[in-house]
Chains A and B, each alone.
Chain A
Amino acid sequence: MTGSDESQMHEATLATERAVNELYLSQMAEAVRRQVKAAKEVPLPRNNQWTSPGSESKIPIRKIEVDPLIGRVALDVDDALLGSGFYIGSWHQEIGDTQVVSWAAPVATLFYLGRSSGDVLASEVEGRRTFVTETVQIVDFVDDLEETGTGSEDPFATPLTGPLDIPAAPAFVIPTPPSAGSPADPVGPVEVVEEPESPRVEVADESTEARPPCPDRFEVEDGLRAEKALLRVLDQPRTGKLSSVLATLQPDQYRLVTWPQGVPLIVQGSPGTGKTIVAVHRASYLVHPERDGGSVGPVAIVGPTERFVDHVSKAVRDLDVSSLGPEDPGGRIQIPQVLSVAGLLGRLAGVDTRAQLLVDDNEERIDTDWRLMRFATQAVGHLRAGGCWRHDFLVR
């Protein structure tokens, strides 16, 4: 293929993915609309009224933004549930016969970890496509292909939504006689080699009694996925705030985010290696209803200072918006709470420390307060003694 052919191919593929995203967004918007309508019928207390007494009572509904698709996985099988591939999004949705699965769903591991995933379909992963988005539009994509040995065929060549399928017209009209050119090959239905169906193994619920078995200490040689997309994100100007990085979440980060609930974990790393962003995504994962086992209930992120709280709040809310799916509108989902150590201790003691901390502009000193330091060290020691797992981020 020449370069221009390649870029034409790229454009065509991009157009298809944009069209799928368009459909996904409108279906999501429709689903959200239905839910909001249902929620509106629930009466709400009138104490939300403010300065304009007597103005029409509007039901406070959080502003809901629908997020675009995150990525796509190509499989070498035609799975009974997933077909020959599926999309990853914030929420589950069906686009025709094609599945969009939530990033928090167990099967999303195929997207984030590819063949190193523990999923039964891991070995069938042929390629993973990561979307680069601006607002809600897909503007580009990056493919990570697996060595398949079956030649260099593009596993994404066929749109997941199937080949263009136009029913026979009631009248077939051709305005001018067909030109004398050679007729092109008719495009028949794409042959798909049927593999024996591999039943999906349902993972049993984690027992709440005994501590679940710890996963092995895992290899850090996961490497990078969606490297180009990642570089593009990294190239963007820093806003000073954390934001959602669902599309470019790296394998090791993903493992930490989806770490089994109830297994203590210590994540270590130099500044800037991405510990906080993992924590934020972890919290959002835990409250996501489409996660295996559903939302765990209230989750708190505890950080050193009030400044930390400010820092991560936006990302939490971003992810919170993406977790406001059609299933549960109106903000009934638990939003991960962000607290400072001092704030948490204060809360436990029933004191509003935040107000005080804010009045006192010297809150940084809490960072270096030796008592808190000792407290944190003890907590870490306690967790270690309990057989907890450690993950070290390497400086990249």
Chain B
Amino acid sequence: MSPGSDIEYHPVRADVGELIEMIEPDRLLVIGDGVPEAMTLAGSTRLLVSVESDLPTGTYVFRTGDTAYVMHVAEGAVPGAPASIAWSEPDHPLAQAFGWFSHWWARGSPVPLPRFALEDEIQLVPSGQEGRIRTRKFSVDGWFYGVRVGGKSQQVREQSLQVLVIDDDPHQWISREPATANRFAATLTRAKLSEQLTDTVFSFRASRTLFRPYQFRPVIRLLTTGQLRLLIADEVGLGKTIEAGLVWTEFDARSMANRVLVVCPSALVAKWRMEMQERFGFELVDLRSEQLGNLLEQVEEERLPTRLHAVCSLERLRTWDGLQRLAELQPHFDLVIVDEAHAFRNSETRSYALGSLLADWSDALVFLSATPLNLGNDDLFNLLQLLAPGDFSDRAQLEDLLRPNSVLNRVAASLLDSTVSNATRKEWLSEIGAMTFGPGVTARPEFSELQVLLDEVGLTPASVTEARSLIGHLHALSAVVTRTRKAEIQEQKAVRTVATIDVDWTPEEAAFYKGFEDWQVERAKNSGYPIGFVTQMPLRLASSCLPMARQRVMDGSGGVLMDDLDADDDTGPETPELDVPPSSLVDLARELGAVDTKFDAFLPRLRDVVEQGKRVLVFTFSRATLAYLQRRLGDEFRVAVLHGGVTGEDRQAVMQRFRAGDHDVVLASRVASEGLDFEFCSAIVNYDLPWNPMEVEQRIGRIDRFGQLEKRVMIYNFSMPGTIETDMVGRLMSRIGVFEDSIGELEPIIESNLTEIRKALDFTLSPEERRRETDRLLAVIEEQRQAVSEVENATAFLSSTDKTEIEGLEQDLLSSGRYVGQPELRLLIEDWSHVSPGSMYSDSANGSQFILRGTELMERHLRSVRGKGERSEAEIERLAQKLRDEQDIVLYLDQEAARISGGDLLAANHPLVRAALAVPGHTQARFASIRIGPSGRAARSFLVLLAVARWDGLRKSAELWTESVPLDGGEPVDGIGDALLAGLAESELSEGGRLDPDLDMDVFLSRVEAQMMDRQTREELRREAENEALFETRRISLKETHLRKVQRIEGTIDTLRSTGKSNMIRLQEAQLRNQDRLVRAKEAELEQKSTGSLSVEMLAVCVLETEV
């Protein structure tokens, strides 16, 4: 069929769009429901729906001279073969079609051109909500548009839409009346929350956790690299769970964590659910087999809720029989967190297969693992392969990739070493160029910046810091792995000072202890019980508190009643039967009298400490000792007791009083103190020693933690030669260094040797045997410590020693305002409540709370958040009901208050904040006159321009930029924009003065705009260079991978050829061709990302008065 025929028939209905695009007909007639999208290209269009058409479906084209008509039969008879004729063939059936066209055209109703195109940004009338057009369709009475508004699709008639007015000229803004400070602040807060800013930390102060800068390392890493995959490999005890929770909170505030799956060992499921609920307010559904079945069904039917928080045990998920089906359906999760991810380390296992599935299903993927990072085997490679599959293809390549790190580390380590010259350092750096992945490093702008720094003769403290930061950025794979070691965060901690209180027993005491010990040895032998934890208990009591042991003997029960022990000290299943103490021991007890040398030695030391104004935490394993000490100390000191029998509420009350300074001394057992923070307390006393080194660490950790204000914390131990505590336990612990230093990397070793340690602590041993046994244990531990430090080799490669990333994080965030503060959110909620008359809000007296009373309208707003899939029914129900019933909703504005009370912390991801954001509010207050600080004081005025800068290269980013110029003609000042943002976060913006009408604001604005453009140019150049280097690294990696694969296949072909298996060579050759095709496709894909651009969108302008 020639394209220029007079009459053509095209049977395929779907082709109509293409035909119209090609022909651009003068008239288009549509028969039946189905006006094609391309109708805008036709001169005029008519539609005829209710007509009995017997014409074959398809598209008819008529041409005369320059005129062309198209008739599209969307509903009709069975289609035939394509045909084309000339007008000179009037007898051809197709010729009749034009008759029908003429006949129907007269009856068709005209189809007006649509006013809006697909992807147009529009505004709904009258609500003013903004949206985007996704579909459009003509029906008899007009155009209908499928519009996406606030994450929800709706069908809207044309009349209900209007063009979104684009108001992006700052010069226009300043010509208008300035907005109030609060409206201006609300505009900025909304912009902060709705733009995906990568330089603003939403999770800061947004959870019920204590602030620990290093725990933000993963969040910062994810934000700065723009990558969504991370291995958090912190040492045990640094709170990896909290770090994952912070990442989750960060993503949640960005609406990037609606569907979250946590996978962890089954033993940790309960802990995850509890921690996420208590600290972050995330309710996790436990996926047991029934729920998994439901999940599969939902995925199968494509109705998996968009908001979903679930946890599943690794063991269950791995063996679940629906996994295969789920794998085929490819469910999607915004965030997947895997705890103890080293379960995935072995690529042969089902666990690993699960790992790769999870990697496929998730946008963001976070692995937690404390396993030492070991380059010597496949474990680390396999883990990283799951996280960053594109970066390297085998172990050898991973090592290649990491090789430049060793040079960088050498340079970093030498920065403070004055014997190393900059010339030497530069020489070291030059080694990198020759490495496989060297060019990717040397091409980075940071590398040249580092070289420029090293061009100087020496290094200043500032340049050392800068060099460290540059090296940190140059580190390969630092984007994928964060590792914080305990040793690293030590510096910020208090110094531990250990004091030993020597107890010089009277002969009577020594004799009684010996008699008591002999009796226990005898009992243990007779009872047939193994020498173990339980049989040792009575003896532990004797060394803890001799008077209490004496009392037991006098009472005729020499053992320790289990009541004496605090609850869950891991007692064995059976208690040895109590028997009557021998009369000789009873005699010794009688002779002992009321003497207590240990207590007498303790009392003056305690007095001393309390007089210094310190609060003291005294630990003992035994409730009997607790009771004894309470009795003896109660008169002189303000004492409280915490043990397993104290209820949660009472515990809380004791804590509050102790914190407030109403107690001098708290006597505690382990059970009672777990999870409580005593950072206000700077001395602990080990009245007796636990026999597990980890427990000592736990005890000291109560006070030696973040928030400790004293530079030194005191640890008091007792020395009573002759007792097993002092001879073995104490000696062992001092030698390990438990008291002075946190256990850190020793922790896994001690955990694994715990059974042996316990077995070794045998009180029936002679003093000489005790010494030898202790030495043996120490040797074992030392040997394993060596092994660990060898295994740790990969750490140096993977994570730079750079701490600048998190050092001073809190201060930086506070002073630059790059976070979302509770006060500004309060303002946002207030702004929201204004739209609904009848709502009320009030602040609590101490400013730590904010009380909101809502309305039904606000309830509807909140429920619409669920419609967008941003929050689930369960998450909003409680709040929605309170809004409807006009009950008080208490929102905490203070992290600590929320943590202690467990109440709702007002944070960027709180449902009420999401609801407030969804309501059209003040987004257009683009200009204002603002003041920071008290009025009346001398201040300078600046014009501040705020903008969002977006980079769309390989590492995407979006930042809030500010530029300012002084309005008084004086010197420009740095940090004015930061001050504005800091004031915004803490809601400290007040109304500024009236603007000077004589000041030509346009001139100043042009100046500040020029500054902004300058910055854009500079920044764009820098990022282009960075992008090119990144691109280069990936390109090399791709090429290397390809080469290796080709080599492998060629090797196979050679083998086949030499063994005469020529029939299989063809298969291999096909693979080789396949490889070529694949690598070309990947290269093309990468090529597209080789360049990026930086766009700057103006956000707002203000005049800012502030003291400088």
Contact = CB atoms under 8 A, between A and B. Distances in A.
A115 interface: no
Contacts of B94: 164, 166
A16 B11 contact: yes
A164 B95 CA distance: 11
Interface in A50-105: 50-55, 58, 60-63, 95-98
Interface in B266-293: 285, 291
A62 B80 contact: no
A354 interface: yes
Interface string B84-100: 01111111111111111
A63 B328 CA distance: 14
Interface string B328-342: 100000000000000
A19 B873 contact: no
B6 to A, nearest CB: 8
B78 A176 contact: no
Interface in B561-604: none
B1 A12 contact: yes
A354 B301 CA distance: 25
A174 B319 contact: no
Nearest to A54: B873
Contacts of B91: 183, 186
A119 B873 CA distance: 61
Nearest to A51: B285
Contacts of B321: 354-355, 358
Contacts of B87: 174-179
B82 interface: yes
Interface string A216-238: 00000000000000000000010
Which size class do A's interface residues fall under?
35 or more
B297 interface: yes
Contacts of A171: 99, 102-103
Contacts of A95: 78
A354 B81 CA distance: 55
A76 B285 CA distance: 65
Contacts of A8: 1
A313 B96 contact: no
Contact of A63 (B102, B300, B305): B300
Given A48-B294, A50-B291, 12 more contacts: A50-B298, A51-B285, A63-B301, A97-B78, A159-B81, A162-B78, A163-B80, A166-B56, A170-B100, A172-B99, A174-B87, A361-B350
Given A164-B94, A166-B93, A181-B86, A13 B1074 contact: no
A361 B318 CA distance: 11
Interface string A32-59: 0000000000000000111111110010
Interface stretch (B57-65, B740-748, B1098-1106): B57-65
Contacts of A314: 328
B413 interface: no
A184 B62 CA distance: 18
A260 B56 CA distance: 42
A359 interface: yes
A184 B89 CA distance: 6
B179 interface: no
8 contacts: A15-B10, A23-B78, A164-B80, A169-B102, A176-B65, A182-B88, A183-B91, A313-B325
Contacts of A20: 78-79
B349 interface: yes
B80 A162 contact: yes
B14 interface: yes
A166 B874 contact: no
Nearest to A176: B64
A51 B298 CA distance: 10
B1075 to A, nearest CB: 12
Contacts of A313: 324-325, 328
B81 A164 contact: yes
A52 B98 contact: no
Contacts of B82: 12, 15-16
A161 B79 CA distance: 7
B102 to A, nearest CB: 4
B81 A168 contact: no
B449 to A, nearest CB: 45
B937 interface: no
Majority secondary structure, A binding face: loop
Contact of B64 (A13, A58, A97, A175): A175
B98 A168 contact: no
Contacts of A187: 92-93
Contacts of A52: 305, 872-874
A178 B310 CA distance: 74
Given A12-B1, A19-B57, A51 B308 contact: yes
A151 interface: no
Interface residues of B, number: 68
B768 interface: no
A34 to B, nearest CB: 18
Nearest to B346: A361
Interface of B: 1, 9-15, 54-58, 62, 64-65, 67, 77-83, 85-100, 102-103, 285, 291, 294-295, 297-298, 300-303, 305, 308, 310, 318-319, 321, 324-325, 328, 348-350, 872-874, 1074
A23 B79 contact: yes
Interface centre among B62, B96, B294, B297 (most CB of A within 10 A): B96
Given A16-B11, A22-B13, A63-B301, A358 B88 contact: no
Contact of B80 (A161, A172, A183): A161
A175 B98 contact: yes
Interface string A347-365: 0000000110011010000
B77 A165 contact: yes
Smallest CB-CB A-B distances: 8 pairs = A169-B99, A19-B11, A96-B78, A164-B80, A50-B294, A19-B79, A186-B91, A178-B88
Residue with the greatest number of chain A CB neighbours at <10 A, chosen from B64, B78, B99: B78
A173 interface: yes
A146 interface: no
Nearest to B53: A167
A359 B319 contact: yes
A171 B91 CA distance: 14
Nearest to B351: A361
Contact of B305 (A18, A51, A180, A317): A51
Contacts of A15: 10-12, 15, 81-82
A53 B874 contact: yes
B97 A169 contact: yes
A207 B55 CA distance: 49
A355 B319 contact: yes
A154 interface: no
A167 B294 contact: no
Nearest to A55: B873
B96 A18 contact: no
Contact of B96 (A23, A168, A186, A361): A168
Nearest to A181: B88
A317 B301 CA distance: 14
A174 B98 contact: yes
A185 B97 CA distance: 18
From B92, B291, B874, residue with most partner A Cβ within 10 Å: B92
Contacts of A23: 57, 78-79
Nearest to A358: B319
Contacts of A183: 88-91
Nearest to A331: B300
B462 to A, nearest CB: 53
A283 B66 CA distance: 60
A8 B9 CA distance: 14
Given A164-B83, A171-B99, A186 B92 contact: yes
Nearest to A172: B99
A192 B532 CA distance: 102
Nearest to A182: B88
Contacts of B67: 175
A206 interface: no
B96 A172 contact: yes
Contacts of B85: 184
A30 interface: no
